[in-house]
Structure 1
Amino acid sequence: MSDSGITDAARAGFDACLADADEEAAVELATGLVASGVSAEDVLLQLVAPAQVRVGKRWESGEWSVAQEHAATHVSRRTVDGIASAAREIARSRAGAGSRGQVLVACSDGEWHILPADILTEVLRLRGFDVRSLGGSVSPHGILSDVHQNGPDVVAVSCTLPWNLPLAYRQIEICRWAGVPVITGGTGFGPGGTWAYTLGADMYAADARGAAETLLRGWPPVLRGESSVQADAVEAYAMLVRQRPGLLEHLTSALRDVCPNLGGRPGPEHGSGTGTGGTGHEEGTGFLGRLLDSLAAAVFVDDERVFTGHLAFVRTYFSARSADSRWLLVMVDALADRLSESPRALDKLSAARRFLVEGDGSHRPG
């Protein structure tokens, strides 16, 4: 048993509930822990959150299908709701203490991994904050509207996918224009939140507990971040966005010519229904578009790790399914051919080529 009171048996039991998509049993197990005296925060952060990480790993490794991953994620979200409800019942006797402050929680624009934001919302509530949550893929306008109507003390932005960084930048900027500090969290902001600070965020926290403690230590939050995104990086990013349709056509054609056997294989799209781009335009553009989005985001924040990190994930995904991933190098070279007049894009593509060639010789086209 850990210091939190959550046993290995409880963790194994919860994993089994997710595997079976057994919502009732999962909620019963988690709320039973809360009723027995385990803190709701510990149940959220040491039972549900790590289990969801394992769900993602099972999908990435090919052990689970997209449908299994979605079903398990649904159970996790319902479990978070159940834990929150149980915690509120226990805390009724402490009513009247007053709010520590108001926090608005939102996922970055384009971000549909909502569970981390849900967990953050409940942890902050447990710590005494008044929290409003706007859910997944919130537009800058949506955030600004809520800021104007409700006047939060701080906005918390969650991002798990680095290719959404340019969209998160717009959210952070609009909060700064409104004079509201921003705390960020999620793997999409890079190691140690490095890209959050590039975008001008005021704070970064690795997890929900860290976010709560950061806010408690520094309340009230203040504007102190400063964007280091360069004007020519924004221009290069905008060029990639404008050229996206033509680049997708070029990539689809290049992939079909070199690796026709890839047609119809499912790509790592988390249930989007897209493929790796051999047979159908719609199949190919969905997945190949993620390569372009990752390259564009790398150009935007001027860090090749955004792009090479995505390539590493894709390579792992295909390796786990015994699929040929030579096409990754083909795609990088095809993009370099079309983007010869964009020094920033070429810089990131050169780094990607080195990553693919030096990391694994099997990625050389043959």
Structure 2
Amino acid sequence: MTTSLAPEVVHAGRLWEAVHDGDEYAAGEVVLAALEAGLDAETVLLDVIAAVQRKVGEEWAANRLSVAQEHAATAINERVIGTLAHTAERVPATRGRVTVTCVDGEWHALPARLLAEVLRLRGFRVDYLGAQVPSPHLITHLHRTGPDAVALSSSIPTRLPAAHATITACQAAGVPVIAGGAAFGPDGRYARLLGAEAWASDARAAADRLVRAPLPQPRAGHQPIDDLPHLADQEYTLLSRSAPRLVKAVYTGLEQRIPAMRTYTEQQRQYAAEDLAHLVDFLATALYTGDVELFTGFLGWTGRILSARGVPAASLLPALDLLGAELRDFPRATGFIERARGYLSGDPVPGPGKTA
């Protein structure tokens, strides 16, 4: 019995082969062939290029692609998007104006670029600002151009505090925000928490939402603390300020518990310190949002990455113990750490994810 694959699946398979081989020219030819075969540009963007980019991330997580290969594949996909944008038929800008941008500190710009191109295909006038846009520069741009909406993208959850500041600044400038990207949660919970006017799960959903109706105007007199009253305990602020000290203290404690770490090379020490910094950053962000699931989700993801590289996920437990000892005077933080220990140990996590 034979089954025929959908055309976009066939072209995605061919693009994956080209990207995996690092062949930019072959990748461009696949995209042009898909257009010539009758696929519309939006389908090529979202069901061919975006599908391949998801596979790139999955293969890296499974340790079947190196960091260098992942970066090369992403760079090829970015250039392929440019090939499509300059080849596909231009659509007149008959709808509103949208600024598409990444949160300050967010380097993963490809999802935002995909959205920018889809919106252009839907007839919007688009200002695509790219990766890592500081809020003051974004607000200057908004005052100069007067868009109808800002589409804010972030893939890294630790950028949520920066995203909150950006959302608030855009609203103060009178421009509503639609948020998207993995940082805002699979169900958009953090977009809602941080006060965005809308959230979309992907570029197609975002374009559909903006086509359907204008975003509601920002609430007058709204303040960031209105969204997150638990921040009054100052735990997030104090932990963030002491992050370098915490990383150093936990690293020193791990050296005492795990003698092999004392013989690490300088590069190994740097990698270990970076991993600990991520641990502290995700705990801080969980405190910011008041949601322990953000922290346990990071640990689960890290555990899977470690397991794929032959390192048991339980190796995270000593770091949690040491971090908990350093934060013994922080009741919310120690509560999150205790629940994270139970999560890693396979114990049921008591109570709801939301603790604030």
TM-score (norm: length of structure 1): 0.87
- 1:336 aligns with 324
Q: Describe the shift of the 1:341–1:26 C-alpha distance in structure 2 as closer, same or farther (beyond 3 A).
A: same
Shift of 1:262: 5.7
Q: 1:83 to 1:234 in 2, by over 3 A?
A: farther
Partner of 2:41: 40
Change in 2 beyond 3 A, CA 1:74/1:39? same
Shift of the alpha carbon at 1:359? 6.0
The 8 Å contact of residues 202 and 224 in structure 1, kept in 2 or not, is answered as: no
Q: For the residues of structure 1 that align with 2:187 and 2:230, how far apart are their CA atoms? A: 24
SS at match of 1:326: helix
1:220-231 alignment runs, 5 A limit: 221-223=216-218, 228-230=227-229
Residues 21-170 of structure 1 mapped to structure 2, 5 A cutoff: 21-87=22-88, 90-91=89-90, 95=92, 98-170=93-165
Instruction: Say whether 1:202 aligns with 2:202.
Output: no
Change over 3 Å in CA distance of 1:230–1:45 after alignment to 2: same
Does the C-alpha gap of structure 1 residues 264 and 43 become closer, same or farther in structure 2, counting only changes over 3 Å?
Answer: farther
TM superposition shift of 1:24? 0.9
Give the match for residue 302 of structure 1: 290
> 1:173-188, aligned counterparts within 5 Å?
173-188=168-183
Give secondary structure in 1 for the equivalent of 2:160: helix
**Of 302, 307, 317, which residue of structure 1 is paired with 2:305?**
317
Contact 1:105/1:135, CA 8 A, preserved across alignment: yes
- Across the aligned residues of Structure 1 and Structure 2, the Cα RMSD in angstroms comes to 2.3
Corresponding letter in the other structure for 1:71: A
Deviation track 1:25-82 (CA, whole Å, cap 9, x = no partner) reads 1111112212332111101110111111111111111111101101101111111111
What is the Cα deviation at residue 256 of structure 1? Answer: 1.9
- Alignment-derived partner of residue 13 in structure 1: 14
1:221 positional shift: 4.3
Cα distance in 1, alignment partners of residues 115 and 264 from structure 2: 36
Letter in 1 for 2:145: N
Provide closer, same or farther for how the CA distance between residues 250 and 341 of structure 1 changes in structure 2, counting only shifts above 3 A: same
- CA deviation vs aligned residue, 1:208-240 (integer Å, no higher than 9, x gap): 010011111122543269752125357221111
2:197–2:215 Cα contact (<8 Å) kept: no
**Partner SS, residue 152 of structure 2:** strand
Return 251-260 or 332-341, whichever deviates more: 251-260
What CA deviation, in whole Å up to 9, does each residue of 1:74-123 have, x standing for no partner?
A: 11111111111111xx23xx64xx43111111111211111101101100
Match of 2:351 in 1: none
Between stretches 212-221 and 104-113, larger displacement belongs to 212-221
Q: Deviations over 1:289-341 (max 9, x none)?
A: 11111000000000011111111111111101112433311111111111111
Q: Write the distance in 2 (CA, Å) between the matches of 1:62 and 1:36.
A: 34
- Structure 1: tracts of 5 or more residues without a match: 267-273, 361-366
Correspondence 1:355 to 2:356: no
1:235 corresponds to which residue?
A: 234
Alignment CA distance shift 1:134-1:233 (3 Å): farther
One-letter amino acid matched to 1:112: W
Residues 186 and 337 (structure 1), Cα distance of their counterparts in 2 relative to 1, 3 Å cut: same
In structure 2, do the counterparts of structure 1 residues 324 and 258 end up closer, same or farther at CA, with 3 Å as the change threshold?
farther
8 A contact 1:259–1:327 mirrored in 2:
no
- Give the 3-state SS of the residue equivalent to 1:134 in structure 2: strand
* TM-fit CA distance, 1:164: 1.1
**Contact 2:42 2:121 (C-alpha < 8 Å) held by counterparts:** yes
What is the aligned partner in structure 2 of residue 269 from structure 1?
Answer: none
Unmatched tracts of structure 2, length 5 or more? 349-356
Letter in 1 for 2:317: L
Distance 1:182 1:235 in 2: 27
TM-score between the two structures when normalised by the length of structure 2: 0.90
In structure 1, the residue matched to 2:246 is 247
Give 1:263 deviation, angstroms.
7.4
Contact kept, 8 Å, 1:34 with 1:86, in 2: the verdict is: no
Distance 1:118 1:149 in 2: 22
**Number of residue pairs matched by the alignment:** 341
SS in 2 for 1:142: helix
- Separation in 2, partners of 1:231, 1:140: 24
Identity %: 37
- Paired AA for residue 189 in structure 1: F
Contact between 2:12 and 2:51, CA under 8 Å: does it hold in 1?
Answer: no
CA gap 1:156/1:137 in 2 versus in 1, 3 angstroms: same
Residue aligned with 1:155, SS: strand
Per-residue CA deviations over 1:169-196 (Å, capped at 9, x if unaligned) read 1111111111110000011101210011
Q: Is the CA contact (8 Å cut-off) linking 2:304 and 2:313 kept in structure 1? A: no
Opposite residue 52 of structure 1, the aligned amino acid is Q
